[in-house]
Amino acid sequence: MDCGVEVFSALTNLTRDEILEDMPGSVNGKTVDEWKAYLEKKGFEALQFGPDDTYTLPCAHLVGWPPNYCHWIYQASDGGIHDSGPVNRYVPPKQLTLAHFGNSRILSIAVTRVKKG
């Protein structure tokens, strides 16, 4: 269930330890709104895209069949999909596509660092 920790760590360059220190329960899963609030607290703007929207890379994709199964995956700037889940953990990113997850993209989140000053 800590797929969100892995994905948002990759997306923001925050360390796993930093995320776990900030949100100790995140290994058990967080809601989309909880992740977005956390990202904003850390100085990021979270841009959410619906399942039919064109999204920007890199981004996090929430895939699955709610409410029983939802899973975060990360798509890098080069299009490669990284999945920390047990099924695809060792599949090279360039061999995974969104098609591997069926028609199950619920939403996507891209982040940008908010500039201060």
Which CATH number covers residue 69?
Answer: 3.90.70.10
Domain count, the chain: 1
Distance CA 7, CA 75 (A): 9
Task: Output DSSP code: residue 52.
Answer: T
pLDDT digits (tens, 9 = 90+) for 78-107: 999 998 888 888 888 788 888 888 879 999
Parent domain of 68: 3-113
Q: What mean pLDDT comes out for the span 3-21?
A: 94
pTM: 0.90
Start-to-end CA distance of the chain, whole Å, equals 37
Q: What b/e string do you get for 15-28 counting C-beta neighbours within 10 Å, with b at 16 or more? A: eeeebeeebeebee
Residue 40: which pLDDT band, with cuts at 50, 70 and 90? Answer: very high
pLDDT digits (tens, 9 = 90+) for 47-89: 999 999 999 999 999 999 877 788 999 999 999 999 888 888 8
Residue 15: which pLDDT band, with cuts at 50, 70 and 90? Answer: very high
pLDDT score recorded for residue 68:
78
